[in-house]
Amino acid sequence: MTAFPEPRRVETARGAFSLHEAGPEDGIPLVMLHGWPELAHSWAPVFGPLAEAGYHCLMPDLKGFGASDRPDEARAYAMDALTDDYCALLDALGLERAVFIGHDWGGAIVWPMGWRHPERVMGIAALCTPHPARAPVAPLSILEQRFGKKHYIVQFQDEGLPDRVFGGREDDFFPFTFRPGPPRSIWPKLYPEVTWLPERFAEYDPATAEPPVMGEEDLGVYAEAYRRTGHRTPTHLYRMIDENWRQTEGQDLTVRCPALMVTAERDAFLPPEASEGMEERVPDLSRAQVDAGHWVTWEAPEAVSAALLDWLKERFPV
């Protein structure tokens, strides 16, 4: 299994987090936020070089995930609440500011940290997840119109569906999910069905499927955690998409701190093209791209670590 530090429980004014730490305590703090259906363990392939370079890696299970607190009401996972959560984590750790690094949903959180709480954010790095302009209408309606009612985010509005579909099949769900990104040449053949996760999972055959991006022991970390927690609270993030959009009305979404956008060439869910035009909202933006699918920390750990370190050493040297 990929080496990863043991967690400690950190109590904050907004609940408790299970936190994994590495690197010198007096190093520049990096708050590293994972996505769905992940855990802090998703940083296992990339944290080592950052810690060895002198940065203090702070890797929590997100609220609702793993061993962190899991409030049951969906409203606790709206973006105003989530960004307040990570300010509270900084408070509990005695930190004024930190560099925030996020992947997938973690990326969706770190960008609002930059415009909601700029005084707490030194810099931002996002893997795969762009900082988009505000959509003209509620995002769920866009997804349904573009990909149909079977798009997994549309289906996840049913709070019980993830447990009905994935619950009890975690040993299959994570090998099904954590697979390499497909070559771009076949993307036109994949849509919209590639976004129909429940239907695709129902047809999943591990005997014929492409191997996952990690080994059995790492897959087991996720399976064990989700067997314990279930799939409801980790997917509450998706139930707040329209609420998050409403919260941006009339707001200045500009992120003025130094930022890095790392795109993944073969990410069919968050393709590099989705980040086009970000410079309008992130004027101090650097870019890097890696040859990987969506699970960049597992598919291209050396390239991801190098991209992060190059930017960190330039903008936040230790």
> Which residues are marked as active site?
104, 294
Residue linked to tokens 């076949």: 186
How many Å apart are CA 297 and CA 304, to the nearest integer? 7
Residue 202, both tokens: 């129902």
Q: Which amino acid is at 179?
A: R
**Residue 171, CA distances (Å) to 23, 178, 227, 231 in order:** 32, 12, 9, 14
Bond into 139 cis (ω within 30): no
CB atoms inside a 10 Å sphere around CB 26: 9
Bond into 37 cis (ω within 30): yes
The answer to whether 306 and 279 have CB atoms below 8 angstroms apart is no
User: Residue 125 phi/psi, 5° resolution?
Assistant: -130, 130
Closest CA to 268 of 180, 155, 145: 180
How many Å apart are CA 196 and CA 297, to the nearest integer? 24
> Which secondary structure element, helix H or strand E, spans residue 217, and what is its range?
helix 216-229
Residue 314, both tokens: 């330039």
Closest CA to 152 of 136, 167, 166, 133: 166
Residue 94, sorted as left (phi over 0), alpha (psi -120 to 50) or beta, turns out to be left
